[in-house]
Structures are given as C-alpha cells and as structure tokens.
Structure 1
Amino acid sequence: MFAIIETGGKQFRVKEGQQIKVAKLADEAGSEIVLDKILAAGGQSEVKFGQPYVDGAKVVCDVLSHERDKKVIVFKKKRRKGYSKKQGHRQDFTRLRVKSIEA
C-alpha cells in the first residue's frame, strides 16, 4: 500500500514503515500525527485519486525527531567590483515514520 501526501508545500510518495524528512512541524518528538492531505492512495490492484484530496484517507505517522539539515553555502560575487558575500544556511526539518495508511 502506498500514498502520495502533501505537507509543507511538497509531495511525498510513502509506504508503511518508511522514514521521511518533511518541513518542520510543531508536534513534539515521540507523538503521533495524522496527515489528511492525501492526493492518491492504493495498492497493486486499485489506486484512488483525489480531486484534490482523497475523501476519508489518512496517513498516521510517528514524529521521531526535529533536526537541522546540512549547511548550504550561498556565495555571491560581482567580478571586477571587489564584491563578494558568503553566507551559510541550515534548514530545520522533522523526521517522520509512517505507521499506517488508511484509504
């Protein structure tokens, strides 16, 4: 069974037992969260597509941890002008484990 979920402005294809990294959520680590924005869900024989979301479908996930991603370097330079700027950025994210998919 799989589902295509939407969270944090992005879409993810998930299966039961899979771990995913999503944009930071406000829920506590160790708690359970229910995602109800399901774009498509199904198995090998039948797939349901929503318009835009599948009615009555939900994905139950465990919140494992809140972490920070690798550093991304933002470097700007204008040639022959003596201008250069270096800046780093680390994005916050939440790690989820998919417990069950109900469609």
Structure 2
Amino acid sequence: MSYAIIEAAGKQIWVEPGRFYDLDLMPVEPYQKISLKRVLLIRDDKLVKIGRPWIQGACVKATILRHLRASKLTVYKMRPKKKTRRKQGHRQELTRIMVNAIMHSAPLNRSIIIQN
C-alpha cells in the first residue's frame, strides 16, 4: 500500500493513487493535469520517507475532475432576551481531483523501514 501526505489548499491530506479528493477551489480548468509538489511524507510498501518540511523531488500527479459546491451549512445567531435573530447559509466552493500517481525521483534511501 503506497500513500502520501501532501499540503494542498492550506490543509494536510492523506492521498492514495486511484482515489478522488475534494479540496478548496483551485483556479484550474477541469480535465487538466496538475502536480502537487508539497509532499510531506511518502510510504511505499515498507519504506517511509519524511520531509523537512517537504521531500525534494517528490510530487503527486493528479487530474482535475470538476468544480462543485459542498452541502449547505446554516449559521444561526440569536441574542437571548432580545428580538435579534440572524440566519445565514454558506456553501463552500470545492475542486474534485483524482490522484493518478505518487512520484519520487530520489531513491528512498536513508528511510525508515517498518517491520511488522
């Protein structure tokens, strides 16, 4: 099982090849290929490479699938004993990406070997 932890849209996300993820809106057209270079950790079978803060020469190849909106979030504020009430809704704009591959150019030497 190979996976990576990347930093994208201000969040750290655990990604695996062949799966899709929803990130905050990215200014990229659908069906374009992107590479995310802020890779914090890579695990490939029994080897783990940890970056300080990022791994040099590593990237995650992905494809933009579509732009969408999250489900509606309702914000309701009221002050007790007053007739003040405020109801507001919010829908976050999202970008759905499909992770194609996790690439690392340098060999995973000096890595941590996990023994089960």
- Displacement of 1:72: 0.2
Aligned residue for 1:94, secondary structure, equals: strand
- Counterpart residue type for residue 88 of structure 1: G
Q: In the alignment, which residue of structure 1 is the partner of 2:103?
A: 102
Q: In the alignment, which residue of structure 2 is the partner of 1:88?
A: 89
Q: Mean Cα displacement is larger for which, 56-65 or 38-47? A: 38-47
Larger Rg: 2
Aligned residue for 2:77, secondary structure, equals: strand
Give the length in aligned residue pairs.
Answer: 103
Gaps of 5+ in 2: 105-116
- Displacement of 1:44: 2.4
- Counterpart residue type for residue 58 of structure 2: A
Over aligned residues, Cα RMSD in angstroms? 0.6
- Counterpart residue type for residue 78 of structure 1: R
Question: What is the TM-score when the length of structure 1 is the normalising length?
Answer: 0.98
Superposed structure 1 runs of 4+ greater than 6 Å apart? none
Q: Distance between the aligned counterparts of 1:76 and 1:70, measured in 2?
A: 20
Q: Distance between the aligned counterparts of 1:34 and 1:74, measured in 2?
A: 36
Question: What is the TM-score when the length of structure 2 is the normalising length?
Answer: 0.87
Identity of aligned residues (%): 36
